[in-house]
């Protein structure tokens, strides 16, 4: 009798050990590879608007029911098709332009629950607050007026000083061009060949002028 009890107990222990293996038997290498392929197909893109301060809208594409996504701020996405997430300092605590946001993609398969499949990153550009100034709207090509650049080390005094210098630069360049042309003309005229030809022409002009004046005098003298 005692021997039979021991057999039942041994059988029960074996069954308890095998049950978990049976439960997750379908989460094999092939299924894991398939889930990883699905996760790798997830794509991210974004645009922005300035209607209520800088706000990024992130588009997450190629989601399926087999997976779900969690970002580094704890926001979760699941379902199919295209989903959206909004990122702005007023909507997501701690978010700033220029942040790199991490996206962890997990398995939503009941046989492979919550397995981390892949991690992806999205780098948001750094917003330049100077680009909103009227000075930048009037001088969009100024180097500190580009909308996406890091100007955290540029003081307002430096911005104003360099902008004023940039505004005056066209006038200075025009003066430099005029001076350069004048110097080039003088350089050409200073060449020996030009000086000889110029001297001959000047002599011919003077002779012609002298002859003309002399004829005029003779004509007047004849009339008198």
Q: Distance (Å, rounded) from C-alpha 68 to C-alpha 19?
A: 27
Report the pLDDT value the prediction gives residue 22, as an integer from 0 to 100.
45
- In the sheet that holds 55-63, the strands lie side by side as 43-49, 55-63, 81-87
For residues 56 and 92, the answer to whether their CB atoms sit within 8 Å is no
Report the pLDDT value the prediction gives residue 21, as an integer from 0 to 100.
44
First CA to last CA across the chain, in angstroms?
Answer: 170
Domains defined for the chain, CATH in brackets: 2-126 (2.60.40), 128-216 (no CATH)
Report the pLDDT value the prediction gives residue 168, as an integer from 0 to 100.
82
Report the pLDDT value the prediction gives residue 172, as an integer from 0 to 100.
47
Decide: residue 162, CB within 10 A, 0-12 exposed, 13-18 middle, 19+ buried: middle
- Total-model pTM: 0.63
Report the pLDDT value the prediction gives residue 24, as an integer from 0 to 100.
47
Report the pLDDT value the prediction gives residue 9, as an integer from 0 to 100.
56
For residues 72 and 99, the answer to whether their CB atoms sit within 8 Å is no
Q: Distance (Å, rounded) from C-alpha 21 to C-alpha 31?
A: 15
Report the pLDDT value the prediction gives residue 59, as an integer from 0 to 100.
98
Q: Distance (Å, rounded) from C-alpha 116 to C-alpha 169?
A: 57
Decide: residue 71, CB within 10 A, 0-12 exposed, 13-18 middle, 19+ buried: buried
Positive/negative CA dihedral, 5, 11, 15, 18: positive
- pLDDT tens for the chain, 224 residues: list them: 554 555 555 455 554 554 444 444 578 899 999 999 999 999 999 999 998 889 999 999 999 999 999 999 999 999 999 999 999 999 999 999 999 999 999 999 999 999 999 999 999 999 999 999 999 999 999 999 999 999 999 999 999 999 999 888 765 455 555 566 656 666 655 667 666 777 788 788 888 887 877 777 776 665 54
Q: For residue 151, what is the enclosing H or E element?
A: none
Q: Distance (Å, rounded) from C-alpha 11 to C-alpha 27?
A: 26
């Amino acid at each position: 009798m005692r021997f039979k009890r021991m057999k039942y107990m041994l059988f029960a222990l074996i069954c308890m050990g095998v049950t978990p293996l049976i439960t997750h038997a379908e989460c094999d290498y092939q299924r894991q590879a398939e889930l990883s392929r699905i996760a790798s197909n997830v794509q991210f893109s974004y645009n922005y608007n300035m209607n209520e301060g800088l706000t990024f809208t992130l588009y997450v594409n190629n989601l399926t029911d087999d997976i779900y996504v969690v970002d580094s701020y704890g926001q979760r996405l699941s379902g199919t098709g295209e989903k959206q997430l909004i990122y702005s300092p007023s909507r997501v605590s701690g978010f700033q332009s220029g942040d790199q946001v991490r996206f962890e993609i997990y398995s939503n398969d009941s046989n492979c629950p919550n397995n981390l499949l892949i991690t992806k990153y999205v780098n948001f550009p750094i917003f330049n607050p100077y680009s909103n100034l009227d000075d930048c709207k009037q001088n969009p090509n100024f180097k500190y007026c580009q909308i996406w650049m890091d100007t955290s080390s540029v003081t307002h005094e430096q911005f104003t000083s360099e902008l004023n210098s940039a505004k005056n630069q066209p006038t200075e360049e025009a003066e430099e061009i005029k001076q350069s042309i004048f110097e080039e003309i003088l350089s050409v005229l200073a060449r020996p060949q030009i000086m000889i030809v110029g001297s001959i022409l000047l002599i011919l002009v003077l002779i012609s002028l002298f002859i003309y004046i002399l004829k005029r005098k003779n004509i007047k003298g004849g009339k008198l």
